[in-house]
Chain A
Amino acid sequence: MGTFAFFYFAGIIVATAGMVVAFKNPIYSALALLVMFFHVAGLFVTLHAEFLAIIQILVYAGAILVLYLFVVMLLNLKREEHFHRQLLVGVFLGCVLFAEAVLLVLKGETTLGNSLPAADTSVELTRGNTESIGELLFSTYLFPFELASLILLVAMVGAVILTKKGILEVKN
């Protein structure tokens, strides 16, 4: 059952991700992306990471995708853009690299993973998912957590600088 669920979710994720790139109409792309986000959330559920599944839907489907749609509709991108003249070369190289990756993975059994300890399931049983993640974020991974907040600060200030009217033009 677990394997079947994985292949269902993974298959749909790959297919819809392909559609995001292939569709000419950006609205269709965004909708394909939406389906993909839901299936990623499904993958998280099969891994017993319910908190991440909900966050995936809230943040990606709820916030980021809506933002995409806003931008697409505001910019009114109707005409087709033919900017990729290297399509054939790209597809060829992509196929070669993909075949190489598949060969690498099929060639031999990976031995690295065998030394991994079995998943510790006791944590999920005694307390909630959210609690464990929260505790890890604010203890072991405090430093990267704060770094991520700095990245968001930079992006925010940067968006203001690059778009706000009147901060540079006044001087020119």
Chain B
Amino acid sequence: MSIPFADLVTIIPELLVVGIACLILVLDPITPTHKKDFLAWMSLGVLGVCALVTMSGFGGSAMAFSGLVLVDAYAAFWKLLLYLVSGLTILLSMSYLKEEKIDLAEYYAFVLLALAGMMVMVSGADLLTIYLGIELMSITLYIMAGFKRFEARSIEASAKYFVLGAFSSGILLYGISLLFGVTGSTRLTEIAAAVNGSALDDPLMLLALMLIIVGFGFKVAAVPFHMWTPDVYEGAPTSVTAFMAVASKAASFAAFLRVLLEAFGGVKPHWNVLILGVCLVTVALGNLVAIVQTNVKRMLAYSSIAHAGYALVGVVVAGWVGTAADISSRGVSSLMLYLAIYSFMTLGAFAMVAMLRKGGLEGEEIEDFTGLAKRHKGGAFLMMVFMVSLAGIPPTAGFIGKFYLFMAAVNAGLAWLAIFGLIFAAISAFYYLRIVMVMYMREPSPEQEKHTRLVLSPQVSVVLAFALVGVVFLGIFPGPLVSIADLSVIPISSLK
């Protein structure tokens, strides 16, 4: 057995992340309690190094491990986003875990291992590696969701996520195995060659495609495969919820899109209508059910479902038949832009929820935000910015993200889809702005005034600053990110 050196060079970031994760597991028992923060800083450090490595190779494209791993600009874009999100999650967790008394160093190792799984997903060129990446990410998240193991809600979230996640993995695997049976390969390029050379409506291929879409639908939390989302998001520790809502969604979308475009790019008519249907119900149900939520974490869970629906508009555009190549690639790049922007605003919103304390507990009800503007002007203002951005109101980044997505839809001849999205974006303003209204226009009861407060730590301030700068800067100057996303789309020559 010999591993070509070049293969190892290609996966340096993955090796670093996994290496440091294992080092943290080893160092944890021999580190004195008051120095445990060092382990968190170490995990942040490795993310910085990885970002430098990935950036230095940006634009290049390399295959490794006999075509199982593909590091191209598309993978690099998602990896950079994932480093940033994981870094902010670690910063957010440092004080949150102490508040919740669950500060185990294994947590940071788990963030890194989940990140490693996501990195494998976004750079997988073979269904086998993509599947194993999904499993590595999911199993890590099942455990992280149950970190507050003395709390029934957290354990329930973990168990529910595990059972449904395992179920969806089974469906995905069934699809992959059928596909392997009819095409004789799990490589995306070889599947594409076999699929393109066959009759269009091959029944087994259709069945496999359907099962794969269902499997990924679970992972990105699209309706009707979303049932786990609210319970898991509510029960998991808030920092983990933020990580799930942002990082795992981004990685799943990245892998989903790559599988659809690279393996099934030749049979677009078979999946674009299916995705369109899922997109419509996801946007509608996510936004409508979010209105009746009283718990902020649940509301943000439904909001994340709705945002997955908006992101699916990008997939629909990329898969729409009869559109020019530049418009379908605009669909891909606007999806990438949207998920990057979504990451900033959602992380910011969850950071605010994690900071709000009610007595010794988390303040996660919408009521707990009552009159916050009186006591914490800055905090209330930040929350308002994130809510306004999630609703997609200019001049925030949320508006830019929706603008590019809907423009891509209009260019592809799907103006009605853009209008549908706009109507539901307007409806979503109702529940986002309700939090702003509660913060600014309601008088808090004396009890609330006494017990609810924002707990700021330097690390959380950094997270909030990043999120704020992201939301405001990208809202006013989206140019740089748009051009990076345009550079990183899946090469159009592979889209037939």
Contacts and interface: CB of A to CB of B under 8 A. Distances in A.
Interface of A: 101, 104-108, 110-113, 115-117, 138-144, 147-148, 150-151, 153-155, 157-158, 161-162, 167-169, 171-172
A163 to B, nearest CB: 8
Contacts of A107: 203
- Secondary structure dominating the interface of B: helix
Interface of B: 1, 3, 11, 18, 22, 25, 64-66, 68-69, 101-104, 106, 109-110, 113, 116-117, 120, 128-129, 132-133, 135-136, 139-140, 142-143, 146-147, 149-150, 158, 181-184, 194-195, 197-199, 201-207
B430 to A, nearest CB: 31
A144 B121 CA distance: 12
B204 A110 contact: yes
Given A161-B106, A162-B146, A168-B104, A151 B202 contact: no
A115 B194 contact: yes
A-B pairs with the 9 shortest C-beta distances? A158-B143, A112-B182, A143-B65, A104-B203, A147-B132, A116-B184, A138-B1, A112-B198, A110-B204
B184 A111 contact: no
Nearest to B116: A150
B150 A139 contact: no
A143 B104 contact: no
B143 A162 contact: yes
Given A157-B25, A158-B143, A112 B202 contact: yes
Given A142-B3, A162-B149, A172-B150, A154 B136 contact: yes
A169 B102 CA distance: 9
Given A112-B198, A150-B136, A161-B104, A143 B129 contact: yes
Contacts of A105: 203-204, 207
Contacts of B103: 171
B279 to A, nearest CB: 21
Given A140-B68, A161-B143, 18 more contacts: A104-B203, A105-B204, A105-B207, A108-B202, A112-B202, A112-B204, A113-B204, A115-B197, A142-B3, A143-B11, A143-B68, A151-B135, A151-B136, A151-B139, A161-B106, A168-B104, A169-B150, A171-B103
Contact of A167 (B104, B110, B120, B128): B104
Contacts of A153: 22, 113
Contacts of B22: 153
Given A142-B65, A154-B136, A147 B205 contact: no
Contacts of B206: 104
B42 to A, nearest CB: 17
B194 A101 contact: no
A146 to B, nearest CB: 9
A74 B195 CA distance: 50
A118 to B, nearest CB: 11
A134 to B, nearest CB: 10
A141 B7 CA distance: 13
A110 B182 contact: yes
B86 to A, nearest CB: 16
Given A108-B201, A148-B132, A151-B135, A142 B194 contact: no
A112 B194 contact: yes
A102 to B, nearest CB: 10
A150 B113 contact: yes
B198 A155 contact: no
B1 A142 contact: yes
B448 to A, nearest CB: 26
A172 B103 CA distance: 11
B143 A108 contact: no
A166 B66 CA distance: 46
Given A117-B184, A147-B120, A147-B132, A154 B143 contact: yes
A36 B420 CA distance: 49
A139 B22 CA distance: 24
Contact of A154 (B101, B139, B158, B182): B139
Contacts of B202: 108, 110-112
A139 B129 CA distance: 15
B211 to A, nearest CB: 9
B337 to A, nearest CB: 30
